Structure 1
Amino acid sequence: MDLSVMFFGADSATPTASTPAACGGFGGHERAYQDILALTRAADRLGFHAVWTPERHFQQVGQVFPSPPVLSAALAVATERIAVRAGSVVLPLHHPLRVAEDWAVVDNLSHGRVGISLATGWHSADFALAPDHYADRRERTLRAVPHLRALWAGTAAQYPDGTGAPVQLTPHPRPVQPHLPLWITASGNPATWEAAGRLRTGVLAATAGHTRAELAERITRYRAAAAAAPDQGGTGPRGRVTVMAHTFVGTSDAHARHLAARPLKDYLASYTRQSAADRAGDPRTAALTPQQTALLTDYAFERYLAWGGLLGSPATCAAFLADLQALGCDEVACFIDFGIETDEVLDQLHRLAELRKALHR
């Protein structure tokens, strides 16, 4: 089983810096990008399999991630061997031609290290970028997979031009990899897991929101669908399961809990507020009082400690990784930027790297 690092975004509403940029330091979001680069370089040196970055728009959570290909281009030239992946590209917000072109640039800059997970999108505000694509966003995403693969392979496709007339177009530049490594981002809907299997893409999912039994059942469904599907120039008949988990490997369970508790609870509260602003979301989330939100985040944190979070001592985290491996997971994307100080995150990367080595013995 492979270990990767994942950024997902923990931001204050009004970022500040202890050292102003004018005095030779980095401030606000500039500091965030420098931290991402530093942590990714460290992950590259320490042998992690991939670095994943998301696509987020218009919200407090993930302010520095509006453009996965732009950030991935920077990560590509800052590293040597680590795979550079988007988790995820919200495909209904983009034209497939543009996705193929942008990521072919990154593939060239990285010498063939890119991969992307395709998401349908969920927050209604995101679709200010493509309001007509919101209602059928899931169908659009699944329908586009074979087209995106064909464009990546250099097959011309017909689209209307500025006059409305059809025109045959081939994206450029040509990528390094003949096949684009693809995942589909799945939540708890079994139909999405099965669709990923039928399309022979990988699947990217979170441990959060699943019980152990639910995750096992989703993986079984996915494997069966992939095994029954024809070859499509994607993953093999077994597929590839990547799971995301909030991660902090401490020197002890108490150390991990002490450092992770407040930042993770703050992050979860911010995420809850973002969900409340989604017009298609559960109205009960919007009705939560601050006290109820605090109780919810306390409960979520305790659940992550019990199962679902890679939070604890090296021994505790090794046991959880062994459990995920037994369930059939191929890769764990370790979500590291939920608010813990960068120096502490860098320290834990070294402890996590030791666990990575143990998985490959």
Structure 2
Amino acid sequence: MDFSVYFFSANDRNDFGARYRFILDVARFADSHGFTAIWTPERHFQEFGGSFPNPAVLSAALAATTENLGIRAGSVVLPHHHPVRVVEEWSLVDQLSGGRTGICVATGWHRGDFVFYPEHYETRREHTFGHIDTLRSLWRGEAARFPGPGGQELEVRTFPRPRQPELPLWLVHTSNPRTWTEAGRRGLNVLSLLTSWEKLEEDIAGYRAARERAGHDPESGIVTIGMHTFIGEEEEAVRALVHEPVKSYLASFMTQKRSDDRVSGTSRDTDTAEQDRLADLMAEDYYQRRSLLGTPDKCAATVGRLRAAGVDEVACLVDFGLPFDTVLAAMPALDALRRRCAGEDRATPATAAPAAGTHTSSGPLGWYYDRG
């Protein structure tokens, strides 16, 4: 099982410079301790994740700061960009990093983000899938044709040339099973969050089968699962420490969802007390069932269950509202878990995580995950 570090911060009212320094500190630790990659997202116009308007810019700094770590976009919202710009920017990052980049593409969902290309909103899924092959061909150095001034088509080849001959590509998944099969058919990797253990196993099986039907090696595709992560020795101390930050983090999703629904005219009134109760339930659900929050033994069992489900990489979401110094101080415990799980690789039985705690629905955040 590979371990990477994943950023998608919620509390962006803090000093932005301090956050970027914190990200670089985490990256240096991960780089020198055998982690696989670091993921940074693309977010716009919201407090939730507002530090991350352009993962290529931040990734250029990460590339210059590290030597071994994969530098990945988690993700690039393809309908917000011209594919030529995506390849140009990430080819530059690939050169700076010595060939360590990877991109996860996403369709986008928040209406307010589509100020860039409003015409792409209704066809965002088709637009994304329609340009995956374009990204790949441009990355290889092949020419592509695009509309130019006066309706004339122009032929384009991008520079600089990247170091890697092929672009490592992930597709972000929310809950739509077609995303898994589409990723398999196209030979893409998958980045997802955990909503249901049973659904995860079903989706991974469908993904592997789709790869095989399309003539791809069914086992070579990488399934990456993002999970809130904080490791500590005392169960109750960890729960007390992470509950409010996780609750606040998840409540940010609800706030953004309501904002989007107001724009679309589908909003439902939710009073403050109801939202607070829901956020409490969500936070406890994440702690118990869908996170690497807790003691080393609890989290190792969860990693074992991920492995048994067919997951290749866990992306540890370490930045969900805890103080930066607290997260940095806990990184050695996360590295110890990584080393422990690497030593047990393929040796942990499928029953490592107890059946109790099985989550069989898309959960309280189903409205968010169902966007995919």
1:212 correspondence with 2:197: yes
1:10 correspondence with 2:10: yes
Equivalent in the alignment of 1:230:
215
Looking at structure 2, the residues matched to 178 and 285 of structure 1 have their Cα atoms a distance apart, in angstroms, of 46
RMSD over equivalenced CA pairs, Å: 1.6
1:77 correspondence with 2:64: yes
Greater mean deviation of Cα atoms: 192-201 or 244-253: 244-253
Q: How many angstroms does 1:282 deviate by? A: 9.1
Write out the 4+ residue segments of structure 1 that deviate beyond 4 Å after TM superposition. 280-286
Looking at structure 2, the residues matched to 174 and 326 of structure 1 have their Cα atoms a distance apart, in angstroms, of 39
Looking at structure 2, the residues matched to 96 and 280 of structure 1 have their Cα atoms a distance apart, in angstroms, of 31
Looking at structure 2, the residues matched to 195 and 281 of structure 1 have their Cα atoms a distance apart, in angstroms, of 30
Q: How many angstroms does 1:164 deviate by? A: 2.3
Of 24, 27, 34 in structure 2, the residue corresponding to residue 40 of structure 1 is 27
Q: How many angstroms does 1:283 deviate by? A: 7.1
**Structure 1 length normalisation: TM-score?**
0.92
1:265 correspondence with 2:247: yes
* SS class of match (1:112): coil
Looking at structure 1, the residues matched to 316 and 299 of structure 2 have their Cα atoms a distance apart, in angstroms, of 11
Equivalent in the alignment of 1:354:
336
Structure 2 counterpart of 1:187, one-letter code:
T
Structure 2 counterpart of 1:32, one-letter code:
R
Looking at structure 2, the residues matched to 282 and 147 of structure 1 have their Cα atoms a distance apart, in angstroms, of 31
Structure 2 counterpart of 1:116, one-letter code:
I
Greater mean deviation of Cα atoms: 175-184 or 303-312: 303-312
1:94 correspondence with 2:46: no
Of 121, 134, 140 in structure 2, the residue corresponding to residue 147 of structure 1 is 134
Q: Give yes or no for contact 1:149–1:180 (8 Å, CA) kept in 2.
A: yes
Looking at structure 2, the residues matched to 237 and 226 of structure 1 have their Cα atoms a distance apart, in angstroms, of 8
1:252 correspondence with 2:234: yes
Aligned sequence identity (%): 45
Looking at structure 2, the residues matched to 318 and 309 of structure 1 have their Cα atoms a distance apart, in angstroms, of 11
Equivalent in the alignment of 1:185:
172
- Following superposition of structure 1 onto structure 2, how do residues 113-192 of structure 1 map, counting pairs within 5 Å? 113-192=100-179
**Structure 2 length normalisation: TM-score?**
0.89
Per-residue CA deviation, residues 33-86 of structure 1 (Å, 9 max, x unaligned), is 111111111111121110000000000101110001000000000111000000
* SS class of match (1:360): helix
Structure 2 counterpart of 1:321, one-letter code:
V
Looking at structure 2, the residues matched to 128 and 253 of structure 1 have their Cα atoms a distance apart, in angstroms, of 45
Q: Give yes or no for contact 1:249–1:312 (8 Å, CA) kept in 2.
A: yes
Structure 1: segments with no counterpart, 5+ residues: 16-27
Greater mean deviation of Cα atoms: 69-78 or 284-293: 284-293
Q: Give yes or no for contact 1:105–1:175 (8 Å, CA) kept in 2.
A: yes
Q: How many angstroms does 1:184 deviate by? A: 0.3
Per-residue CA deviation, residues 232-286 of structure 1 (Å, 9 max, x unaligned), is xxx7654110001111111221121111111111111122101111148997764
Looking at structure 1, the residues matched to 123 and 188 of structure 2 have their Cα atoms a distance apart, in angstroms, of 20
Q: How many angstroms does 1:148 deviate by? A: 0.7
Of 46, 50, 53 in structure 2, the residue corresponding to residue 59 of structure 1 is 46
* SS class of match (2:109): coil
Looking at structure 2, the residues matched to 157 and 261 of structure 1 have their Cα atoms a distance apart, in angstroms, of 50
Structure 2: segments with no counterpart, 5+ residues: 344-372
